[in-house]
């Protein structure tokens, strides 16, 4: 598969429309099984509150993965992402209800690099909180 986004069609400052990713407790349990991270703060409400958290929280790497998914969905090829990094700035609190939480990810093309690469700055929010900061991906375009 190759990137479907064309380098010549992308401009610095171009916004990539936001996408919402729902997070429910079941997603966290499945992620725990896949990642091996069974820390109780990600699935046990009683334990999470006992250690001072407002409720169960999503794994930081789960949140990072949703922002990575946003980039790969935009570019059309997971192999086109050549560099990706974030800093975790806030928690995604996941209540035990029919709604769960929502992670909203958006992006902007910050720079065009040689060899048809672009730097995409990402914003990830849950509610009023920015949950990732300094989130950037370098993407090889077609």
Mean pLDDT of the 108-137 span: 97
49, part of any domain: yes
> CB neighbours of 114 closer than 8 A, spacing ≥ 6?
none
For residue 1, pLDDT over 80 is answered with: no
Q: What is the predicted pLDDT for the residue at 6?
A: 95
127, part of any domain: yes
110, part of any domain: yes
Summarised one tens digit per residue, pLDDT across range 30-84 is 999 999 999 999 999 999 999 999 999 999 999 999 999 999 999 999 999 999 9
What CATH number does the domain containing 119 carry? 3.10.129.10
Summarised one tens digit per residue, pLDDT across range 76-104 is 999 999 999 999 999 999 999 999 999 99
103-to-29, 69, 72, 128 alpha-carbon distances in Å: 17, 12, 16, 11
1, part of any domain: no
Q: What is the predicted pLDDT for the residue at 65?
A: 97
Q: How many domains does the chain have?
A: 1
44, part of any domain: yes
> Residue 30 sits in which domain range?
7-140
63, part of any domain: yes
Q: What is the predicted pLDDT for the residue at 3?
A: 75
Summarised one tens digit per residue, pLDDT across range 4-16 is 899 999 999 999 9
105, part of any domain: yes
2, part of any domain: no
């Amino acid at each position: 598969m190759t990137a479907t986004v064309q380098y010549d069609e992308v401009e610095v400052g171009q916004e990539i429309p936001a996408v919402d990713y729902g997070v429910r407790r079941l997603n966290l349990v499945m992620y725990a099984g896949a990642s091996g991270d069974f820390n109780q703060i990600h699935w046990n409400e009683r334990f999470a509150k006992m250690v001072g958290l407002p409720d169960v929280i999503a794994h930081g790497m789960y949140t990072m993965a949703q922002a990575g998914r946003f980039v790969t969905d935009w570019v059309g090829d997971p192999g086109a992402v050549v560099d990706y990094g974030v800093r975790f700035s806030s928690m995604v609190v996941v209540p035990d209800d029919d709604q769960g939480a929502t992670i909203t990810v958006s992006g902007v093309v910050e720079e065009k690099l040689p060899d048809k690469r672009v730097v995409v700055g990402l914003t990830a929010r849950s509610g009023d909180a920015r949950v990732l900061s300094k989130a950037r991906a370098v993407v090889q375009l077609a």
